[in-house]
Structure 1
Amino acid sequence: MIDLPLFPLGTLLLPHGRLPLQIFERRYIDMISKCMREGTSFGVVWIKKGSEVAQASKTNLDFGAYGTVANIVDWDQLPNGLLGITIEGEARFHVENTWREDSGLNMATVAIDPIPPATPLPEGGRSMIDVLAGLQRHPEVKKLGMTVDTGNAWQVCFALLQLLPVDSATKYQLLELNDIDELVEALDEILSELSG
């Protein structure tokens, strides 16, 4: 068990996925500064119900019971003067308990799941590599600098799921899966629906 600062979002960060964020609230600027200075991580949790980050200190949020450890892989000052960071998902964690510090920063004691061993994609999921490669050619995705081990089905599935226009509730359900065959099957269905 470890204590992690939380960054609640209306979207999900998945293991091996990357997300760009704009940081504007003092408590999160302080949190990011500390993480960068000390080389530590923070947790991204999905807000199942309640306001987006800006209101998180004023309302009771319904966090997901699990989230993803986030590492800062890039940062920059944006043209609008805000701090921009790119985060990458590492391991999944389960939230044991949460509290709010005086600064308004949400904290949690979490149990971090072991990272699943690398597993090759089943034959039926091979086309996912092509879909992922196609998405990675998009200029906005290129900016994220994602690198994916295409020999590891977990990385392919989660990186692909991160990029696809899929609702957060679905992503949250799939983040919970521990069976790679189930994840590949679910993602295959999503790709079939998206391609019509």
Structure 2
Amino acid sequence: MAAQIPYLDLPLFPLGMVLYPGGQLPLRVFERRYLDMVRECARTGSSFGVCLILEGEEAGAPATPAAVGTLARIIDFHNREDGLLGILIEGTERFRVARTRVRSDGLVRGDVELWPTEPTHEVPVELALLPSILERLVDSMAPQWRNAPRQLYDDAGWVGFRLAELLPLHDDERQRMLEITDPLRRLAELRDILPRFQRG
């Protein structure tokens, strides 16, 4: 008899953006369902899932999430000037959603299968331009990475995820970069997209 896949029951936070492993996102939390979720995660030290919205909006009726997302852990809390709760989250592992259900308070929960961590690869010589492009983007757009250890720029997975965050990709492209499981393939696809941003 085939072994059953162990699913993790996870609260899901559908967003209009993609969270990548190792990435950070600031969020403002104001709906009761998400305030309760954040409180529970803070109390238990547990994570929640972030998925790109396929249909619907971040607020209001439950949105339809993409099938592949990223576990998020809360690394900071603060009170915003507008009086709302602000949190900073960091992406860890990726997962695939097997099925979802909506609780009475509107919170979407999913049975998810965690993906294994990507193999580590050095950036190959033929893609060596990409870390240099990332350095320029970090300098102008991502101060949180300005003091990143130099060896991260040799890591194909880290470079690919950071480029996918910072380049002006379409949502479906960002989601595709999340779903690719080979870091070298992700870098090659990003290289092929780059000329679109260099015209004019």
TM-score by length of 1: 0.89
CA distance in 2, matches of 1:145, 1:91: 23
- How do residues 184-195 of structure 1 correspond to structure 2 at under 5 angstroms? 184-195=187-198
Deviation at 1:65, TM superposition (A): 1.3
The answer on 1:40 being equivalent to 2:46 is yes
Q: Which residue of 2 aligns with 1:4?
A: 10
Classify the secondary structure of the residue corresponding to 1:186: helix
- How do residues 140-179 of structure 1 correspond to structure 2 at under 5 angstroms? 141-142=142-143, 147=148, 149-179=152-182
Count matched residues. 191
CA distance in 2, matches of 1:64, 1:146: 32
The answer on 1:52 being equivalent to 2:66 is no
* Identity rate, percent: 37
Deviation at 1:75, TM superposition (A): 2.1
Q: Which amino acid aligns with 1:14?
A: Y
Structure 1: runs of 5+ lacking an equivalent: none
CA distance in 1, matches of 2:145, 2:79: 16
Bigger RCO (CA 8 Å, 6+ sep): 1
Please say which structure displays the higher CA radius of gyration: 2
Q: Are 2:131 and 2:154, in contact at CA under 8 Å, matched by a contact in 1?
A: no
Residues 1:147 and 1:19: Cα distance change in structure 2 (over 3 Å):
farther
Residues 1:79 and 1:7: Cα distance change in structure 2 (over 3 Å):
same
Deviation at 1:34, TM superposition (A): 1.4
Structure 2: runs of 5+ lacking an equivalent: 1-6
Q: Which residue of 2 aligns with 1:103?
A: 105
CA distance in 2, matches of 1:181, 1:109: 29
Q: Which residue of 2 aligns with 1:88?
A: 90
Q: Are 2:157 and 2:184, in contact at CA under 8 Å, matched by a contact in 1?
A: no
Instruction: Give runs of ≥4 in structure 1 deviating > 4 Å.
Output: 143-148
Q: Which residue of 2 aligns with 1:135?
A: 137
The answer on 1:126 being equivalent to 2:132 is no
When the two chains are superposed, the root-mean-square deviation of aligned CA atoms in Å is 1.9
Q: Are 1:15 and 1:159, in contact at CA under 8 Å, matched by a contact in 2?
A: no
Superposed CA offset, 1:55-108 (max 9, x none): 233xxx332111111111222111111111121211110001111112211100
